[in-house]
Amino acid sequence: MLRQVVTVCGVVFGSASLVSQVFAQTTPAAIEAPPYTPEAPSNTPTPSPTPTNAPATPTVPRQTSTTETTPPVAPPPPTSTVARAAQAVAELVRIHGILRPDVVFSSAAVESFSNPNASAVTAAANPVLANLPAESRLSFQAAQSRFGIWIAEKESVRGHLEFDFIDFGKASPTVQALVRLRIASVEWSPIEPLTIAAGQDWDLHAPINPYGVNMVGGNFQAGNTGFMRHQLKALYKLGSSLELAAAIGLQSPNAAAKDGAVELARMPTFALRAVALLGKLGKVGLSGIVSRLRFAPGPDERHAVAGALALFGELTPYETLGVRFEAYVGRNVANLGALGISNGVRAQDVEEVAGFLSARQTFLAQHAVYGGYGIAHALDGDDVVPSYSYGTVLPGVVPPTSSATLAGTGPGIRWNQTLRIGYDYKPVKALAIAVEGFWYKTRHALAALDEVRLDSVRHALGFETAMVYTF
């Protein structure tokens, strides 16, 4: 009897040991098993169970016999109203711009479009208007920074807005800088080769600018004329080798409260442009602009023709070298809002010849050197009117130069030339750190009483250093 009890106990304990071993082998497989999934349809064969001692299946997705992988699942569309609106704006709007903190030093006074400051240097300063014109000076600027918005840029109808912060009437503003509207245009492409644009945009005439960090000053009044104009223009591409364009526009800006000669002339500008597209080599173009001026509307008014003819180009002789140029002849160019030096008045017209050449060579991928020369020369310099006036001058009294103010009679420059040489380093694609040296030699038209006490030919050497971030 005792022997039978011992035998039964042994069987029981042996069975328990066997059960514990089986449980120990099957528990890890159960823990690693995938979550529950619905049963397969009845017509799908049920896979045979995997042996408990088989290796675990890798979690890497399997490939088919053609090595194709399952494409990633697209993210679900935004569900909230705010998220959908943000996505629509991101698809419709592209923001771009340039941040340009800059330091300017010059050995003598310089001017920016007749204003004696360094906001966008265009010439050595008029000695009558500048404070201590022979002394050196230093300025910090952020005025040429800008931002813009393209709306539906890739669509057949699109809009473009661009602003900057330049104010030539302020020498070194900080929080006093004001926003300036540069571009406000609407474009429509009814068919692929044709673009029709209306609004304020780059002038159809002479559209090339030189290389350099002085973007707003860029050789203007020294061989470069193209600027902004309110206009209606059409551009048509004939294949891949030729572009033709035409425009009608406003004669020149009028920032006064009253309509003046610009509006009373009742005559727009007419411009034509033809550009040969040379593929990777670049492009070369010919453009012209013309209008009919009305000086001093009223009994003593005078009508005159104003216009210019320009040859321009942007070439890439080889991958790392860029060359830009412009050459033009014109009459009363400044009267048309273009940035030349010939400004006619009621008494006479003024003619000029001008041009610039600019080049940029990159090396070691991130480095570049660039430079350029520009000159503008009034052919009849004695007819150039001074850019300033003293108001009422009493007989026998010589007014101090500090009492002179800008008269709105044009640049008042007989001739102007500039040389710029620079270097820039781009540690990343969006950032350039540049140092640029400049030299200006300018002859101003002075009033008779100033010709005897001041030198009308001025020189200025200097440099600009800027950190330019483009987005």
Q: How far apart are CA 70 and CA 309, in angstroms?
A: 62
Of residues 141, 161, 283, the one with CA closest to residue 217 = 141
Residue 17 confidence (pLDDT): 41
- The pTM of the full predicted model, rounded to 2 decimals, is 0.81
Residues 6+ apart with CB under 8 A from 8: none
Gap between the terminal Cα atoms of the chain: 98
Alpha helices in 369-458 (DSSP H): 448-451
Residue 171 confidence (pLDDT): 97
Q: How far apart are CA 386 and CA 393, in angstroms?
A: 16
Give the domain ranges of the chain: 98-470
- Which CATH fold would you assign to the domain 98-470? Porin (2.40.160)
The answer to whether 124 touches 111, Cβ cutoff 8 Å, is yes
* SS3 at position 376: strand
Contacts 24+ apart (CB under 8 A), 30-37: 32/56
Residue 8 confidence (pLDDT): 34
Residue 80 confidence (pLDDT): 84
Helix, strand and coil content of the chain, in percent to the nearest 5, comes to 15, 40, 45
What are the pLDDT digits (tens) for 31-80? 233 333 333 333 433 344 443 333 333 333 333 333 444 556 666 666 78
Cα separation values, 471 from 217, 364, 366, Å: 21, 23, 18
The answer to whether 135 touches 107, Cβ cutoff 8 Å, is no
The answer to whether 460 touches 430, Cβ cutoff 8 Å, is no
| Residue 153 DSSP one-character state | T
Q: Evaluate the CA torsion angle 388, 392, 395, 398 in order and state its sign.
A: negative
The answer to whether 447 touches 72, Cβ cutoff 8 Å, is no
Residue 35 confidence (pLDDT): 36
For 45-66, letters b (16+ CB in 10 Å) and e give eeeeeeeeeeeeeeeeeeeeee
The answer to whether 162 touches 145, Cβ cutoff 8 Å, is no
Secondary structure (H, E, C), 71-113: CCCCCCCCCCHHHHHHHHHHHHEEEEEEECCEEEEECCCEEEC
| Residue 338 DSSP one-character state | -
- For residue 204, count CB atoms less than 10 angstroms from its CB and return exposed for 0-12, middle for 13-18, buried for 19 or more: buried
Residue 409 confidence (pLDDT): 94
Q: How far apart are CA 81 and CA 470, in angstroms?
A: 32
The answer to whether 401 touches 393, Cβ cutoff 8 Å, is no
Q: How far apart are CA 200 and CA 328, in angstroms?
A: 23
- For residue 2, count CB atoms less than 10 angstroms from its CB and return exposed for 0-12, middle for 13-18, buried for 19 or more: exposed
Q: How far apart are CA 433 and CA 229, in angstroms?
A: 31
pLDDT tens, residue order, the chain (471 aa): 334 433 433 433 343 343 334 333 333 333 233 333 333 333 433 344 443 333 333 333 333 333 444 556 666 666 788 888 888 788 899 999 999 999 999 999 999 999 999 999 999 999 999 999 999 999 999 999 999 999 999 999 999 999 999 999 999 999 999 999 999 999 999 999 999 999 999 999 999 999 999 999 999 999 999 899 999 999 999 999 999 999 999 999 999 999 999 999 999 999 999 999 999 999 999 999 999 999 999 999 999 999 999 999 999 999 999 999 999 999 999 999 999 999 999 999 999 999 999 999 999 999 999 999 999 999 999 999 999 999 888 888 899 999 999 999 999 999 999 999 999 999 999 999 999 999 999 999 999 999 999 999 999 999 999 999 999
Q: How far apart are CA 220 and CA 286, in angstroms?
A: 19
Q: How far apart are CA 111 and CA 126, in angstroms?
A: 7
Of residues 420, 468, 442, 463, the one with CA closest to residue 139 = 463
What are the pLDDT digits (tens) for 307-327? 999 999 999 999 999 999 999
Residue 300 confidence (pLDDT): 93
Cα separation values, 389 from 116, 285, 313, 380, 401, Å: 15, 40, 39, 21, 10
Residue 343 confidence (pLDDT): 97
